[in-house]
Structure 1
């Protein structure tokens, strides 16, 4: 593979060719979290943290020894306080070879109901140099081999 220096991330009308408009869908994707194909992952530019819901954690059959205690406090949409059970750092892979990235993500593990299995927030999106587009229902990101992309489900 040839390494690409200084790729430019561009999003165009061509990127929406398969979408039905108008829409107001959330940007929900599938990613690989620790070798587990995880569906219903919300890409949330408004979230100040990355969240893994406890049910998804249990389904991944991860050893509880990997959980690290945390004193973080989250505020829900309803304004109520949510105390994470713990934190866990897991590898997350996005994109298709060779335009893919794998990075360790520290998730707060939360035991409450949700339509999602995980939320990727600003810390991860920033570290991956992600460009998000809810209009296009996709993210694009820089890799060593060009621009990778991930489309909403």
Structure 2
């Protein structure tokens, strides 16, 4: 009989590190020209003055409704003048993705889009060419604990179970702290901490 320990994969380190594997890629979203990348680089290294003290953001065990889950964080947000459901929070995305069905329901037309020459690579198996980009307002939660930002969104002509994918740049602008385990994201506002729970 084989001892139980022998069939378990070992979690101990073996030997020295022989190589390093880094992520290779461009900036998160510095545009498609030299000036855009320079602006992105300046923003990345620019120091901001110390801001006023903000409320503490914390997650507690009692906030978990279903402890044993493996769910994506899906929320509702206001885009322009519409409440949009099925918005996936994706810190791996570098731009807000607006799917074509939601694009049409927002009463947008292709003339509202700025052309985009670059292909979207790594989004699906094949590279795709977006319909274009536009700037829209995104609001999370209601007053008084709400936040609003103007963001660049990329419209794509693909079917999806989601209406929108919310990217990490927007989340950083909103200064959101995310817990997928708690299925919640929290953020500072002038009226203390705002909170958005999963709304699949």
TM-score by length of 1: 0.89
In the alignment, what sits opposite 2:63? 15
Match of 1:89 among 129, 135, 141: 135
In the alignment, what sits opposite 1:122? 168
Distance 1:23 1:54, change over 3 A: same
Equivalent-residue separation in structure 2 for 1:63 and 1:78 (angstroms): 24
Mapping of 1:24-103 within 5 angstroms? Answer: 24-103=70-149
Structure 1: unaligned runs, 5 residues or longer: none
SS of residue in 2 equivalent to 1:6: coil
> Which stretches of structure 1, 4 residues or more, deviate above 3 A after TM superposition?
76-79
Structure 2: unaligned runs, 5 residues or longer: 1-51
SS of residue in 1 equivalent to 2:138: strand
Q: How many residues align?
A: 148
In the alignment, what sits opposite 2:193? 147
Give 1 or 2 for the bigger CA radius of gyration: 2
Instruction: State the Cα distance separating 1:46 from its structure 2 match.
Output: 1.1
Instruction: State the Cα distance separating 1:96 from its structure 2 match.
Output: 2.5
Equivalent-residue separation in structure 1 for 2:131 and 2:166 (angstroms): 18
Instruction: State the Cα distance separating 1:14 from its structure 2 match.
Output: 2.6
Question: Is the Cα contact below 8 Å between 2:75 and 2:89 reproduced in 1?
Answer: yes
TM-score by length of 2: 0.69
Say if 2:161 is the partner of 1:104: no
Equivalent-residue separation in structure 2 for 1:143 and 1:71 (angstroms): 37
Instruction: State the Cα distance separating 1:78 from its structure 2 match.
Output: 4.1
Residue by residue over 1:125-144, the C-alpha shift from the partner in whole angstroms, topping out at 9 and shown as x without a partner, is 11111111110111111212
Question: Is the Cα contact below 8 Å between 2:98 and 2:163 reproduced in 1?
Answer: yes
